[in-house]
Amino acid sequence: MEPPSLARKVLKRILLGPSEFPQQCALGLRDPQSEVSVWLHGLGSPRDVTHSHMMACAAPLTIGIGFHGPGEPALGEGARLSLSFREQDERAQCLVKIYLQHSKTLPVGNHELYLFKVLSCRNHCLPKIRLWTRYLYYAHRRWRQTPEVQMTAREVHSMIAFFVCPRPVVLVSVTDGRVSNIFPMNLMGPIGGNYFSFALNSTRPVTSLVERAGRVALSSLPMEYTSLAYELAKNHKREHADWNLLPFSTRLSTRLGLPVPEFSLRVRELQIEATRKMGSHTLFVARIIQDESWADGLQFFTVHGFYQAWRQRTKRSR
């Protein structure tokens, strides 16, 4: 008779398929990424919003999209649209589709940030039976572990879809008087012009620190520093980090004088102009006051394992 652990492994392989992949996979890409394009449907001709959208909140799951000024079409409270995520090649195959409902519009300088409630999604990265067995497996894990942010099944599925598009990971430097911290972040994105938006878990100490400081520096990470980003994730739960214990050297950013890693590929300094409590997360809208490239190389991006499985299956993995 087979040992119980071996039997479980065999059953898991039958139900979930042969691919073993984590929910988060690291990719080394040039910035801006050119693997997946994101298109907004429902306002006439499809609009390319690949580099003007971001996740504004996890619960309720909300996506923000930047538009240029008041000349954009008016959206009523009940307007429904969708985002399609497509491969950036000659086939332009649709990988996922996320259905949206407009909820709010925020003025951002001469731009506007449209906020959309996520209604549902369709994911084509895995065969349907594998997709739903994975969904059930993830639901079981969440039930056993009691996640920090409570999300509905639809929100979880749609967040997975959102991370089919590669998302850059940066290190955030913030200082308020004698209190200073550095931590990784990937819920962010440009929203047009020199404006940028990002979201932080409202219950974490770093969120109130960023609110008080009103300014941050974002440092893009070379791919070889992936493990460092994961290690620094613990700083989300601390208000203050001991910079003397960090395993890397720093230098001061050009405009704000914030300590940033010397190995940074790119450093953007932001002045925060507005904050909004969205639910599980706080949304920050900021103006880019300095944007410098310090080095060239592959940057650390993260994707969901569903997309990595797609890449492997279509022989696109490096």
pLDDT at 1: 43
pLDDT value at residue 10: 43
Q: How many CB atoms lie within 10 A of CB 252?
A: 12
Asked whether the domain spanning 168-302 has the same topology as the one spanning 35-165+305-311, the reply is yes
CA quadruple 129, 131, 134, 136: dihedral sign: negative
pLDDT at 52: 95
Domain borders along the chain are 35-165+305-311, 168-302
Per-residue pLDDT of the chain (318 residues; tens, 9 = 90+): 445 565 455 445 544 555 566 788 999 999 999 999 999 999 889 999 999 999 999 999 999 999 876 555 566 555 679 999 999 987 889 999 999 999 999 999 888 999 999 999 999 999 899 899 999 988 988 888 888 899 999 999 999 999 999 999 999 999 999 999 999 999 999 998 899 999 999 999 999 999 999 999 999 999 999 999 999 999 999 999 999 999 999 999 999 999 999 999 999 999 999 999 999 999 999 999 999 999 999 999 999 999 998 888 876 544
Q: In this predicted structure, what is the pLDDT of residue 92?
A: 85
Cβ neighbourhood burial of 177 (10 Å; 0-12, 13-18, 19+): exposed
| Confidence at residue 73, expressed as pLDDT on a 0 to 100 scale | 58
Sorted by sequence, the CB contacts under 8 Å of residue 150 that are 6+ apart come out as 59, 280
Beta bridge partners of 272: 286
* pLDDT value of residue 70: 57
Q: Which helix (H) or strand (E) holds 312?
A: helix 305-313
> Can you point out the beta strands (E) in the chain?
24-29, 36-41, 47-48, 53-57, 62-67, 80-87, 94-108, 111-123, 167-168, 170-176, 179-185, 188-192, 195-201, 215-220, 250-252, 259-261, 266-277, 281-293, 299-304
Whether the CB-CB separation of 24 and 161 falls below 8 Å is answered with no
pLDDT of residue 260: 98
Q: Which CATH number fits the domain 168-302, given the four candidates 2.30.110.10, 3.30.230.10, 2.130.10.10, 3.30.390.30?
A: 2.30.110.10
Any idea which residue has 């022989």 for tokens? 315
- Architecture of the 35-165+305-311 domain: Roll (2.30)
Q: What is the pLDDT of residue 47?
A: 94
Which of these, 306, 311, 267, lies nearest to 134 by C-alpha position?
306
DSSP H/E element including 10: helix 4-16
Residue 3 near residue 130, CB atoms below 8 Å = no
